[in-house]
């Protein structure tokens, strides 16, 4: 049979545990507040990086169109990276952008005559839709090309894996698909 001293120690221990639990109740809301604040700051940082990256991508696309007469890009809805490229003087110039900064510039030899064989919007749209369908919340492939004193601008919400792996009837898309694969135009993460 336990002694009274043992009962007293047990009661003391239970009181001490209850006191700690009561004290912890006051700490929990404080910890939750800290967690929520850090989470919202983290989301704000990511949203800022996405916005900076989209702005930089737009600026480079517009700059390259003015300079070279064409610009292409791939990006994703919630990504902080993108790739912009342009064809000039039988070269492809590639700019890998992350969080609004150009991470890497590359230039390779590449025949760019296929740009002169730009299909109509209807042909482009039909070819991509039939091969890949559209995504509402995913990757984007787009381009701007000056042709006959006008600017042709296309932006397709599409799965880039499908573009990379697709076989196309249009020579234009076959060449774009080839370049996306050959130059790893979507593989920017490894350059970080």
Q: Is 39 within a domain?
A: no
Residue 1 has a pLDDT of 46
What pTM was estimated for this model as a whole? 0.74
Q: Within a domain: residue 149?
A: yes
Q: Please give the pLDDT value at position 12.
A: 58
Asked if residue 7 is part of any domain, the answer here is: no
Residue 71 confidence (pLDDT): 96
pLDDT along the chain (192 residues), means of 10: 53 60 60 55 66 85 95 84 92 90 91 87 87 78 91 88 82 90 76 49
Q: H or E segment at 165? A: helix 160-165
Residue 5 placed within a domain: no
Q: Which domain holds residue 92?
A: 47-191
Give CA torsion, residues 36, 38, 39, 40, to 10 deg. 90
What per-residue confidence (pLDDT) applies to 25? 62
Give the Cα separation of 122 and 120 in Å (integer): 5
Residue 37 within a domain = no
87 lies in a domain? yes
The SS3 assignment for 135 reads coil
Q: How many domains, the chain? A: 1
What pLDDT, on the 0 to 100 scale, is given for residue 32? 61
Evaluate whether 161 touches 96 at the Cβ level (below 8 Å): no
Q: Contact 114/172 with Cβ under 8 angstroms?
A: yes
């Amino acid at each position: 049979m336990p002694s009274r001293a043992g009962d007293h120690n047990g009661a003391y221990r239970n009181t001490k545990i209850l006191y700690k639990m009561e004290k912890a109740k006051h700490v929990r809301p404080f910890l939750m507040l800290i967690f929520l604040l850090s989470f919202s700051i983290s989301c704000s940082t990511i949203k800022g990086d996405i916005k900076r990256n989209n702005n930089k991508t737009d600026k480079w696309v517009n700059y390259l169109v003015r300079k070279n007469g064409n610009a292409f890009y791939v990006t994703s809805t919630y990504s902080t990276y993108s790739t912009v490229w342009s064809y000039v003087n039988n070269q492809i110039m590639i700019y890998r952008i992350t969080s609004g900064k150009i991470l890497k510039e590359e230039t390779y030899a590449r025949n760019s005559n296929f740009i002169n064989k730009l299909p109509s919007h209807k042909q482009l749209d039909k070819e991509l839709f039939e091969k890949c369908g559209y995504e509402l919340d995913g990757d984007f492939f787009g381009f701007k090309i000056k042709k006959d004193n006008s600017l042709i601008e296309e932006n397709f919400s599409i799965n880039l894996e499908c573009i990379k792996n697709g076989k196309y009837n249009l020579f234009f898309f076959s060449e774009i698909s080839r370049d996306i694969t050959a130059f790893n135009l979507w593989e920017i993460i490894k350059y970080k």
